[in-house]
Chains A and B, each alone.
Chain A
Amino acid sequence: MKLLSKYNRVNLITTIIVMLITGIIYYQAISWILTGQKDKNLVVEETEIFDYVKLNGHLPQTFESNDQQITFTPAAPGSVKREFINTEYFERWNKENGHKKHRNRAAGRYESGRGLVSSVTAGGNYYKILIIESKVETEDLIRLIFLITIGVILLLLLVLLITNRLILNRLWQPFYAIMSELRLFNVADTQEIAKVDTSIDEFKELNNAVVDMASRAKLDYKDLKVFTENASHELLTPIAVINSKLDTLIQTENFSDRQSKLLNDLYSAVSRLNRLNQSLLLLVKIENKLLHNREQVNLREMVEEMLMQFEEIFNGKGLNLTHTLDDKEIYASRYLVEILLSNLISNAIRHNNIGGQVSITLTNKSFIIKNTCDDEPLQDKKIFTRFHKSSNSEGSGLGLTISRQICENFGASLEYVFQQHFHVFIVTFN
């Protein structure tokens, strides 16, 4: 859930609850105050009756006013308990108007009212007094207050929704900007993360932290890159010395079998070291897009050339090569494509059994190379990582990493599938 909608939801619910509670309290308080007021009026009326009875010794004459009714009913002495009650007030229609409005003279209506039940003894007789006052005005007032409250709640909600939508969206803009910058972040890129223009402290801090982190990561990466490059270069000099000394050494001739075996081992170790070094350097360069001279390359011709180059090696291992090659042009660095093809073809030769098969298919969409094998499927996820190699491999463990990087470099993808005793590598062009 988005922060905005979450915040909106919580905000709205609390606002509604608080408003409702306030409304109820408000309602209760006002009706309590108004009822108290009514009760006071009733008591005044009662006192007037008591005073009248004390003075005159008989009940006062009752008359009906707009909002007050007083009735006396004889009752058994002592049977009436003084109390305030909520009751109904029967309003007779006003004679002048009501007559016109309603044919029936007895017509009227019930309104809610507040009553006081009391008792008085007049002329030796015990009477129950019932004084009722209409509460219609009070209720009108309360209704009005209630409506105003509801109106305020609705207005507030509306305002909240609009402001949330407009202001919060704008407020969070820097956050989304930082997010998209982070998503685009790439340590190998030279581009810095842009400063987000915002006046909000939290976002400023976030932005600063992100910018700091990015530049630190870039610096570390650059250091590592420079280190790899320098280390590789520095390694090359001693390797060159060893190689040249070996070349000089074999000129002295007259070696025993044992010595020549040792020398051969030295040679192959040095050349392996050299290849590893070159691969590392190459990887650094591809990853940093330092090889960018692209040209139109005819893949079919290159594959054919390479197969001719490897002819003896195919024959040496008794491999059976089948290929169907369509014309396919790609726009890429010739040097890198050569390395890619050479890596894939040499893998197919290296990890093959004697007398096995290699099949190469080049179409407009893809380049597929298959080779037979005895072993299990390779681990899809791991084979493209650096220095991962199968136990019997003599390669550097960088070949497939380099191949994948090259493919990405010219917008193709490299995938591996295992099909019934065949390792299959597929380069899909875009």
Chain B
Amino acid sequence: MRIRGITKHYYLMLLPGLIWLFFFNLLPMHGILMAFKEFNPGMGIWKSPWVGLENFRYMFELDDSIQVFKNTIFIAVLKMIGNLIVPLLFALMLNEVKNRYFSRTVQTIVYLPHFLSWVIVAGIMIDIFSYTGPINQVLSVFGMDPVLFFANAKIFPSLIVGSDIWKEFGFAAIIFFAALTSINPEMYEAAAIDGASQFKRLMRITLPSILPVAILLGTLSLGNILNAGFDQIFNLYNPAVYSTGDVIDTWVYRAGLIDMQYGLATAVGLLKSVVGLVLISTSYGLAYRFANYRIF
């Protein structure tokens, strides 16, 4: 492919991203060798003795592994769906609000939580859902017993998914807003003249127009499917919710950094990446096939 002079600077803009990718994603990859070794930090990665697939064999032996994988996938899939649908619906609804001042204000307010760190959001969450917090006070008005939300393994995944959606939907909606503004208003006018109802216009014009963007976002998020969100869960979980809340990243953190089982932790992490790779390849293939969507 010949690069035409006029587009050269676009490629230059890629550079910061590529450099970042190289240093933080490609360079550390030689570390995956640790998964096949009995890692000894004093000897370094290269000199530590090989153990073959021993770490993997042991990983599959552990009851934990299956549970942790299940939790990860469950939480991640729910997050993926929620983070696609909620911003989309929100953008569509706000798009119907004709008062521009109002919709701008709402937009600004809802994307603010995106900029808070999980440490802060988790602190607020724990206070809100605490035994004497506002949620339980509301429940007591209705005569219900207080609930310890963060100690309940059944509720925990919903809290994780819910808070993630709450934090991110405003920011994710920005892309949909952008897509919505790019729809040619003449189409709406023509449809209105043909007598299409507001709902019909939404279904036949708006949705198809932003579908490619939705698919793009969906595909991109698949790459993150096994990242159920370390920061968030680490700041919110406790042993009482291990059964549904312990995900690969938190488990790897405990095994690797607290207990110093480096080889095992790396093996689990590597498996996570391999599964992630398969998933993103599949989803990309599907997107190409059914939505005729391609990045390259």
Partners in one complex: no
